Amino acid sequence: MNPRYDLTPDIIVIDGYVVLGQELKPGLGMRLYEALDKKIPIIGVAKTAFKDSNSESEVFRGESKKPLYVTAVGIGDQIAKSYISSMHGKHRMPTLLKLVDRECRKG
């Protein structure tokens, strides 16, 4: 069974990069953006730095000394970073992203 949903999200947040390194090579998020005909902005949130990651993509949440790496397409980088910064949760990872990660690991 393959249900069809007629949802049009305003933004999609993924676990990973939209662009990779300072050369801005396409990552998973860019490929998704293109597959969606460039109609829905994508924000990528990664927990580890990619080789040659730009420090401008770093977002520090809570009291964490380790940044998240936020990249985006279809939306300004600063706006994307502010959205991730303002998400619910006191710690490095926003609550919603923790929940999604946990559910995905269950299989």
Please write the tens of the pLDDT for every residue from 35-45.
999 999 999 99
pTM of the model: 0.88
Q: Alpha carbon of 18 to those of 3, 13, 31, 38: distances in Å?
A: 27, 10, 8, 13
pLDDT band at 2 (very low <50, low <70, confident <90, very high): low
pLDDT band at 100 (very low <50, low <70, confident <90, very high): confident
User: 9-13, 40-44, 89-93: which has the minimum mean pLDDT?
Assistant: 89-93
Would the CA dihedral through 24, 48, 44, 104 be positive or negative?
A: positive
> Does 64 have pLDDT greater than 60?
yes
Mean pLDDT of 31-55: 91
Instruction: Determine the Cα–Cα distance for residues 107 and 96; give it in Å rounded to an integer.
Output: 17
Q: Alpha carbon of 61 to those of 10, 49, 70, 82, 98: distances in Å?
A: 23, 16, 12, 11, 14
Query: Mapping DSSP to helix (H, G, I), strand (E, B) and coil, where does residue 98 land?
Result: helix
For residue 104, the model assigns a pLDDT of 84
The per-residue pLDDT of the chain, averaged, comes to 91
Give burial (CB, 10 Å; 0-12/13-18/19+) of 3. exposed
